[in-house]
Structures are given as C-alpha cells and as structure tokens.
A and B are shown apart, each in its own frame.
Chain A
Amino acid sequence: MVLLMAWLLVLAGLGWMVSQRLKVSTDLRSFMPAPTTPDQRLLMEQVGDGPGSRLLLLAISGQSDVQLAALSKGLVGALRRDPRYTQVLNGSFDLAALDPSLLPYRYLLSPTLDTQPLDKSYLADQLQQRLDDLSSPAASLLKGLLPRDPTLEMLKLAERWTPKKSPEVREGVWFSTQHEALLLVQTSAAGFDPDAQQRAIDGIQHAFHALPGSAGAKLEFSGPGYFSVVVGAQTRHQADWIGRISSVGFIVLMLLAYRSLSSLLLSALPIASAALAGIAALTVAFPEVHGITLAFGFTLLGVAQEYPIRVLSHRRAGEDAVQSVRALWPLLLTAIASACIAYLAFYASGVNGLKQLAVFTIVGLLVAGFSTRYLLSHLLPVQVRDVAQMPWLENARAFVDRLPRPRWIPVVVALLIVLMLAVAPGPFWQNDLAALTPLPRDMLLHDARLREALGAPDVRYLLVLQVPTEQGVLALSEKLQPKVDALVAQHAVDALELPSLYLPSIATQRARQQQLPDRSTLQRELTQAMQGLPFRPDLFQPFLDDVETARSLTPLTPERYAQTPLGQRLAAMLVQRDGHWLGLGTVSGVHDAAALHALGKDSEGSVRLLDLKAASESLVAAYRTRILQALLAASLLLVLAITLALRSLRRAWHVLAPMTLATFLVLAVERIVGIEISLFHLVALILAGGLGLHYALFFERDTGDVAEQRRTLHATIVCVLSALLVFGMLGWATIPVLRAIGLTVSLGVAFHFCLSILMAPHAIGRLSDPGAEDSHARED
C-alpha cells in the first residue's frame, strides 16, 4: 500500500512538473529536418510566414446586398485597428490607407513623373480632363480631390494597389457573383500555427457577431490558416471518438482475459508512468516539445502495453507476481533493450523531431519496463487464476502445435513480397504531406471559387528576388516590372505583384523628386495651363504646397513605410536572411509556369520562381531518407543486440526473420492495393515491428513446460487482440493519417503473429510438471 501511494505520488509530481514546463509547439516546421537547399529554407519560412499562407478569405452571405455591404464595412472598421491582422480589404477604396502625412509622397510613389514632367502641356491636358470629369457622373468623386491633386496621383496609386483582378464592387464593397460580400484578411500569425490562426479566426467571428444585423447573415472562411484549424480539429475529433471506443473495448478485453479489476487498474500504471516520464524528460532536454513528437511517441509507446500483459498472463496459481516476473525478466529485458538500442539510431539522425521522439520512447520504454518489474510485481494481488488451466487455451495451444512449420515458408513469403512490390501500381512514396490531411472537396472548391473571385495570390508559386541589399531588391523589382507586365499581357499569369509596386527604390524616388519643378516654375506652368479654362485662379494652392513639400522629402524607406497599413503589406514581401535580402513576388493564376521560370534566366540566381509544392516534396523526401538511414542503422543494432542476448545466431534468426518478413509483407500488401508509403506508414511499421519482436521472442523461448507455452500463447493473443482493437479502430478513420497508422499496425500485428508462430521452432510437448523446468530441453 505504501509502495502504491509512493508510486502515485511520484506520478502526480511528474504530472505537475509536466503541466508547469511543457510547451507544445504546433508549428509543423520544427519537426522537419534542417532544410539544405535555398528553396527548402525559403519554403520553411514561407510555409508559415509567406503572404499567401497568412491570407484568410471571407464571404458574408444570407442577406440583402445593402445589409451585406454594411456588415462588410463594419467588419473592416472593427478589424483594422486589431494587431492580429496586418491587412483587411473589402474593396472599398479608402484614402486612409495612405497616412495623411504621407500624402505628398504620392509624387515619389507614382510612376507618372518617370515619363511625364509637370509642365504646362501635361497640366493643361490634365485640367481639361478634370473639367470633363466635373461635367460627368464622376464629378462628386473628384470634386474634393481636385484642389490638392489635379493630376489624380492618389487615384492612380489606389488603382495600382488594388488587386488587378478584383471582384465586382457593389454598394462600395466586393461581391461575388453568388451574392456574397467578399473580404481579404491577412493575419499577423503564421499560417501553419493552428493555435494562433484559431485566435485570429475567433477574433473575426467575435467582431462579426458584435455587428448590428449580423444575426441573419452567414460568415464563411477559407484559406491555409483556416484549413490548418479545421484539419487539426477534425483529426482530434476522430482520434478522440475512436480512442474512446477502443479504450472501452480494451478494458472489456482485459477484464475478460484476467477477471480482475485491480489487476487492470494497476497494469495501467506502468504505461502512465512511461508517458509522464517521457514527457518530463523532453521538457528537461528541450525547450519546446513538438505536437507531432507526442502523437508519434504515444503511438510507439503502445509497445509498453505488452509488459504488464505478459506479466499478468504468466502468473501461476499460488505464486506471487514477483516470482512470475523474475522468470520473464531476461526476455522482457532483451525486448526493452533492443527497442531502446534501435531508437538510439533515431537520436543519431540529427533531426530535431526524431531526436525528441527517441528521448521520449527510450525513457518511456525503460520506465514502463522497470516499473513493471520492480513496482507492479509487488502490487499485484497474490490470488490469481492460472490461465494455463483454461480449456480453450489448451485447445488453442494444441492447434498451434499441430500447425505444420515447413522450412520453405520464409522463401515463399520473401518471393511473394518481391513479386508484389514489383507489380505494385503507382509511385512507391507519398511525398505530398497535404495528401495525408486532405480537405473536404467542397471546402477546396469553395476556396478555389473565392480565390478566383478575389484574385488572391496562389499559395504554390512565389517569385523570389535575392540581392545583398534591401534597396537592391527594390531596384531589381523595378527592372523586372516591364517583363512581368509583358507576361501578364500574354496571359501567362493573371497577376504578379512585385515589392516595388508598393514602394519604389530610393534612387527612383530621388529621380522623381528631381523631376518636380520648384514652386515658381510650377506656378508659371500652371497659370499658363489654366488659360482658357474656367477654374478659379487660386484653386490649386494645396497642389502647389504638396509639390513643394514633396521636393524636399526624405525618400520613403521600408522601415518608415512599415508604420502604415500598406507598409505592412510590403514588409511581408521583403525578408532579410543570411546577409542578403529576399523580395517575394506573389503570383496569382499561373497559366504558363515555364514562362515564369524563364524570368530567372540570365539573372545568375537573383531571380527565380519558387514552386513551394516541389520544394516541400523534396523536403519530405529528404526527411524520409533520414528516417530510412536511421532505420537501417537501427536494424543492424537490433540484429547485434538480439544475437548477443540470445548468444546464438540460429535463435536470433528465429526471432528476427519472422519480424523482418512480416514488416516487408505489410509494405508489399499496402503497395499492391495502391497505397503510397508516407512517413506515417514508416512510423507505424516501426511500432508493428516492435510488437512483432515480442511475439517472436516469446514464441522462440521454449521452456519445455506445456503450461508455460500456453501462458505465452495467452499473453500473445491478448496483446494481438488489444493491438488489433486499438489500431483496427483507427483503420476505420476517414482521415488518412489515422487510417495509415491504424491499417499498417493492424496488418503488421496480424502478419507478425502468424509468421512468428509458423517460423518458430516446434515446441517440445512435455506434460506439465511444475518445479521440474528444464530450460535446455529445446530442440529444433
């Protein structure tokens, strides 16, 4: 009792420590291997921080256009001051987007002066046009601007900055053809940080529902950040309900197998200790723990569930648990040690996520094993039923013993594997991580429709400009603009936004400043231009003032600009890294990727089109290579460890051959039905391999004692059934990640079980004679 209390206290202490220290990182990137190519490195940044991935697409529907427009405007008003969002657009052009103190900068930002001095002929033409405007329906739009901005530079800039392919504007805001008011929101948070995205989405929901008249309207989201939230929630939801069902099933199975509630409760303690100790070790060794490490780690800890089961099945009537464990311990220790040695290879892989996985599982398995041996065994009730006396088990063991065990089985299975792998359809590896967490089809269609309507940038392509200085990026971007315009004109791409669209280089701004006439010259030109026109002579004083101010302005830099909403947009397009600057051009509607790639020709690497999909696939492939290398090293270590432990190559063969064949058989069967192998399949194969190692080890062990052989069969059957229950349920999940793990482990457990029986040496049938155990009476 004291021991139990102490154990529970230690667990509570560990739990408290974990709750205090555990910091789970949901960022997918930190689980990935260190990127090696420049594209992969950029991908790592862009996956989370790129302008495209931080974009949320919003649609409001369900009311009249007028009400929807009011809601759209209300939402923009509510979100514009919120630091969670860097840009909120709904199509209504708002002069406030340009800071009033920056208004004189329009002459430095607009390209007009590049081709056109502010001389009398240009001014006269412009003024004549304004006169036409005044007599036209547009009059009320322009009347207010006229004195300050007769050449309408502000409107030219506004036109430049609105997406080229923008949706229809009704009631002053964007509308889709399906009566939805559309908005674009760029979040400050990274796109693949589901928690931060959830907060951003909650903020929008909250602001929306606080608006008067929002009750009858429907607000819909789309975009990468929203998807990461939905996928995370869906996966958790399915894993939860499947977990609940299989937990109930597992409890029922254990009660049926051992008929003892206290045994069941106590045998949960080693697993709980393993999990807590594993996490505690992670919090000590690493500043942040990856969510994926925990998910994979808990999966792999499934092996530890076998330790208490083995002990429970091998109990004999009247014998206390400590004695039962003692007999089993050498074998259990072999299993634990070989698994730990194998996971050491993961630690050596150098990938942060895999290192964490290794620390978690090694600590977990050791704790589970040793707590089973030294703690659990002292707590289990003394009075138990010896499973060896159950009639069904006797029959089952007799059946197993009668099974033929031909020597040709390994050869046939191996040939079968080779054959199936050879004719399997489709590519072997699944490189697309997104394929494992696919989105519902209607959600993708909705996204495509909104993206098309809003002309929102593609998440797949980016044009990357790489130059040593920030100004260099802007200058290169300016140089590239005519080529990009040509591509848009050829319909190779719908739109390509370069950083210089928002801010020209200092050199260009200076050149434009040089073009601005001094006050007296401008006054003279203007007076001549106004001749014969009915404008009031003193009307354009504000214009003269602004031009005069613009002449002596310090050119705008990205830092200064960053304080305005548009500057935020620019900041997302300019990134400093490793002593050079990157300019990121966002691309929408790619029709001819080759033509875009050609932009980088002759640029000596300073301009290139980044295909984020290709880069992410190469990254996944690199990651898999690391895992496979770790696996290979792990296998070699495993062979060595088992051979040393059993002190016989032949015995090691009986343990390792069924395990190896079963693993490849799972691979072959999955391939023949058309499954492409992903990282998750590999992790599941490792877990199944760990379980298979146990089956083979215990079947290979031959004590010559028929009762003990029955107990081994009982333990193995309980282990197989519980694994099939838990992972078979996962196999029914609709989310591919869960299905991949569930299916692979279930298949693996079944194959390992069958092969380790069929390839085990025939047991010596000797009548049970307690006390007269002969551990050497083993024959092939």
Chain B
Amino acid sequence: MQVLDRPLVVSGELAWLGGDQLQRRVDQPNQETATIANGEVTQQRAGKPPRHFSLKRAPQLQVLLDSFVALLSGDAGRLQQAFEIRYTGVASGPWVLVLTPRDAAVAKSVASITIDGDGKQSRCMRMQEADGDLAIDLLGPLAAKMPAQPTREALQALCQGAR
C-alpha cells in the first residue's frame, strides 16, 4: 500500500453464508469481523460498537462479494455479468482467471482481480486496486505458507506456482 512502507498482513477466515452474504473474520493481528448482508457492511471489533456502511461505498468488497459468490456457487452467468473474464490454463493443471469489473464506478477503485488455481483448488486471489495498491489473499493450504517478511514479488511468485 502506498500509505505504508511495508505490506500489511492479516489472517482469518472468509465464509460464504449463502445468498449474497459473506463473512470476513480476521484473527491476526486484531480480532475483527465484517459481514456483508443485504447490501450493507457491518464491521465489529472487540470492545467497539459495530459500524455499518453501504456496500456501495466499499467497491473492493462489492467485487469480492461478486467474484466469491459467483465462484463458490458456480454461477457463471453472474460472473459474466459483473466482470470481463480472461481464462488461461487447463482444467486439470494450473490456471489463471483474470476478472475486470464492468461497472465503471467499481473499476475506479478496483482495476482487476486475478485468481490463480490448480485443478479444483483456488490458491490465491490478487486484487489490483486502481491507485496501485495490491491486496493478495492466499487461500486454503497456501495460507500457511505466508512468509514472515512478505514482499509483493515473493507473494506473486507464490501464487503463480512455486509448488
């Protein structure tokens, strides 16, 4: 991130609650739960009153929601609707899915999402923000491989297939 001089690392769990509901729980470094439901985001931190805001005001989350729900529910139509899709790779081996938001307002803050996978397993999700910031989610087994001092390059290499 531009405002930081080193990457920010958090770990936790992302859960699809069915429908358009997604829960993002962060365990490290601080406890926080964010729930998306009915177009609204509710953010809860230990010892603080919950905060609410509209999903529209957090385009990253809208993208996250769209891509995740579509991927997890296997709803190709929805994915098509929200993104321009570029797919390279093979079904049994490594593959790369690049999603570019169609909505101009969303595209203003999220440039693209790249999902790396291998066979049936998604390994890693990279969200390229329009201001140059990059958010990388290591998914599933790869999450355990988060280096202690991550760099953008190291993580990208990890995603792209250092097996």
Contact = CB atoms under 8 A, between A and B. Distances in A.
Interface of A: 128, 131-132, 134-141, 143, 146-147, 168-172, 534-537, 539
A136 B43 contact: yes
B58 A137 contact: yes
Interface stretch (B48-56, B86-94, B154-162): B48-56
A138 B51 contact: yes
A67 to B, nearest CB: 14
A134 B32 CA distance: 12
22 contacts: A131-B8, A132-B30, A132-B32, A134-B1, A134-B4, A135-B10, A136-B32, A136-B34, A136-B43, A138-B58, A140-B57, A140-B58, A140-B59, A140-B129, A141-B53, A143-B1, A169-B54, A170-B39, A170-B40, A534-B6, A535-B4, A536-B3
A143 B58 CA distance: 11
Contacts of A168: 40
A694 B53 CA distance: 74
A168 B39 CA distance: 11
Nearest to B45: A132
Nearest to A142: B3
Given A140-B60, A141-B57, 18 more contacts: A132-B45, A135-B8, A137-B24, A137-B36, A137-B43, A137-B60, A138-B41, A139-B60, A141-B58, A143-B1, A146-B3, A169-B40, A170-B54, A172-B57, A534-B5, A534-B6, A536-B2, A537-B5
Contacts of B34: 136-137
B26 interface: yes
Contacts of A169: 40, 53-54
B79 interface: no
Interface in B60-89: 60-61
Contacts of A535: 3-5
Contacts, number: 72
A516 B161 CA distance: 53
B20 interface: no
Contact of B3 (A136, A147, A170): A147
Interface residues of B, number: 33
**Nearest 5 interchain pairs by C-beta:** A534-B4, A137-B61, A534-B6, A135-B10, A137-B58
Contacts of B13: none
B16 to A, nearest CB: 15
B59 A137 contact: no
B128 interface: no
B51 A539 contact: no
A172 B59 CA distance: 12
A534 B8 contact: yes
Contacts of B26: 135-136
A172 B54 contact: yes
B23 to A, nearest CB: 11
B109 interface: yes
Contacts of B59: 140
B13 to A, nearest CB: 14
Interface string B97-131: 00000000000010000000000000000000101
Contacts of B57: 140-141, 172
A168 to B, nearest CB: 8
Interface in B3-45: 3-8, 10, 24, 26, 30, 32, 34, 36, 39-41, 43, 45
A136 to B, nearest CB: 6
B24 A134 contact: no
A171 B54 contact: yes
A207 to B, nearest CB: 24
Contacts of B56: 171-172
Contacts of B2: 536
A137 B56 CA distance: 11
Contact of B4 (A171, A172, A536): A536
Nearest to B22: A137
Nearest to A538: B5
A140 B64 CA distance: 13
Contacts of A136: 26, 32, 34, 43
Best-buried of A146, A169, A537 by chain B (most CB within 10 Å): A169
Contacts of B24: 137
Nearest to A135: B10
Given A534-B4, A534-B8, A537-B5, A137 B41 contact: yes
Nearest to A139: B60
Nearest to A132: B30
Contacts of B8: 131, 134-135, 534
B109 A140 contact: yes
A539 B54 contact: no
Contacts of B7: 534
Nearest to A143: B3
B53 A143 contact: no
A499 to B, nearest CB: 26
Nearest to B4: A534
B40 to A, nearest CB: 8
B10 A138 contact: no
B131 A536 contact: no
A712 B68 CA distance: 96
Nearest to B24: A137
Contacts of A137: 24, 34, 36, 41, 43, 58, 60-61
A637 B60 CA distance: 85
A402 B45 CA distance: 97
A539 B3 contact: yes
